[in-house]
Amino acid sequence: MMTTLRLQTSAILLAGSIFNAGGAMAQEGPGQGYAKVDNGAYSVVAEVRAKPGKEAELRAITLPLIELVRGDPANLVYFLQENRETPGHFIFYEIFANEADFEAHNAMPYVQEWFAKLPDLADGGVKVMRMEILAPTGK
């Protein structure tokens, strides 16, 4: 019983330290990260699906984009997600202040290199929805 309690306490402390080390949003309180995203910001939701048998290869060339895009000062938000039920089906969620920043991002050499590899790995290329962020009145 005491060992179980110590393990549970250790797990809670570890989880707390991971989330607190996660960055400013966790330390500043709920929702504070949204302040940097203005009404009208340029958002993109994109998807790409691997060709059968190419899931691991597409994942391998796509994962490095996370650090590269998040390192771009013009990028406000970037998430890469993979469908748990269909490995190799990726969804990108990106926010930039405006369309010009997004287009500059697409022109970056590492993005162009990624696009150049897609014909061999992706089924049908990238499908993109260009969106506008809507913020509450008064923002």
Residue 94: the pLDDT is: 97
pLDDT in tens, 75-134: 999 999 999 999 999 999 999 999 999 999 999 999 999 999 999 999 999 999 999 999
**Residue-wise over 93-128: b if at least 16 C-beta within 10 A, else e?**
ebbbbeeebbeebeeeeebeebeeebeebbeeeeee
Note whether residue 26 is domain-resident: no
Q: How many CA atoms lie within 13 Å of 16's alpha carbon, on the beta-carbon side?
A: 6
Q: Which domain holds residue 76?
A: 37-133
Whether residue 25 is contained in a domain is answered as no
Q: What is the pTM of this model?
A: 0.74
18 occurs within a structural domain: no
Q: How many angstroms separate the CA atoms of 88 and 94, rounded?
A: 19
* 17 pLDDT more than 60: no
- b (16+ CB within 10 A) / e for 14-44: eeeeeeeeeeeeeeeeeeeeeeebeeebbbb
Q: Domains in the chain: how many in total?
A: 1
**Does some domain include residue 113?**
yes
Query: For 56-101, what is the HEC assignment?
Result: HHHHHHHCHHHHHHHCCCCEEEEEEEECCCCCCEEEEEEEECCHHH
Question: In the prediction, which pLDDT does 135 show?
Answer: 82
Determine which helix (DSSP H) or strand (DSSP E) holds 44, and give its type and residue range: strand 42-50
Average pLDDT over residues 2-16: 38
> How confident is the model over 29-79, as pLDDT tens digits?
666 677 788 999 999 999 999 999 999 999 999 999 999 999 999 999 999
For residue 15, being part of any structural domain is answered with no
CATH number for the domain spanning 109: value is: 3.30.70.100
Is 105 within the bounds of a domain? yes
Domain for residue 24, yes or no? no
Residue 6 lies in a domain: no
